[in-house]
Amino acid sequence: MKITYKFDEDELYSFNMFRATRKNAGTVPSAIMIACASLAAMLVIGYMCRMPAYIYIIFVAMAAAVFGFIMWFLRSRMKRSVKVMLYRQRKEDLMPQTTITLEDDYFEVYTVTRTSEINYTSVERIEKTKQFLYLELDQNGEIGIPIRAFDNDQQMDDFLREFIEKTPKAVHAGLGYLMKNEHA
């Protein structure tokens, strides 16, 4: 089976956000820790100054706002980084047409500048979101396949079934529906 696609700017942004929040495991926990530390500091100050009880509710809301701001800031920085990359480099270099071909012992990822043969055993996780199929590889690699690359849901399901059959060690997050359909 062969799938061909090319990222657009929004997909490149979404893919990089996935990498920032999932592959860089410290991003979201760091935001939570900063929000909790700011809440703790505000609570200690409130206690020492003997502030009324309703102020503590405001402090909790402020800590939630700090977390929201950090996540918003991360997203806006990522969008800006993608725009800067697109401005500085040719779009063809950043978003080349990609073809993935499933072979018996490996899958091939082909672009104009590079061809990679990747063993199925290198796949550590397969995840499906609204926009992408993510193939997380060992050695911190990942491949994002836009859902729109498939002609229809049946083609995507067939691709996933064939892929899952060849990746016994992979974690198939959220893909249980494929296994249920097979046994029905």
- For residue 176, the model assigns a pLDDT of 63
- For residue 57, the model assigns a pLDDT of 85
pLDDT over 60 (residue 183)? no
**40-79 pLDDT per residue, tens:** 888 888 888 888 888 888 888 888 888 888 878 877 777 7
pLDDT over 70 (residue 26)? no
* Helix, strand, coil distribution of the chain in percent, nearest 5: 55, 20, 20
The per-residue pLDDT of the chain, averaged, comes to 77
Q: What is the mean pLDDT of residues 169-182?
A: 60
Task: Specify the higher pLDDT residue, 169 or 151.
Answer: 151
What gap in Å lies between CA 122 and CA 169, rounded to an integer?
A: 9
| Rounded-to-10 torsion of CA 12, 168, 105, 92 | 0
Sheet holding 115-119: strands in order across?
Answer: 2-5, 98-102, 106-110, 115-119
- For residue 159, the model assigns a pLDDT of 86
pLDDT over 70 (residue 89)? no
Q: Which of 33, 67, 37, 126 is nearest to 75 (CA)?
A: 67
With 0-12 CB in 10 A as exposed, 13-18 as middle and 19+ as buried, what is 75? middle
Q: What is the mean pLDDT of residues 132-152?
A: 83
- For residue 21, the model assigns a pLDDT of 64
87's enclosing H/E stretch is helix 53-88
pLDDT over 70 (residue 175)? no
What gap in Å lies between CA 63 and CA 138, rounded to an integer?
A: 36
Q: What is the mean pLDDT of residues 85-105?
A: 72
The model's confidence at residue 184, banded by pLDDT at 50, 70 and 90, is: very low
Residue with tokens 């592959």: 23
Q: Which of 95, 117, 98, 97 is nearest to 106 (CA)?
A: 117
**97-131 pLDDT per residue, tens:** 888 888 888 888 888 778 888 888 888 888 888 88
Q: What is the mean pLDDT of residues 141-152?
A: 86
Task: Specify the higher pLDDT residue, 109 or 19.
Answer: 109
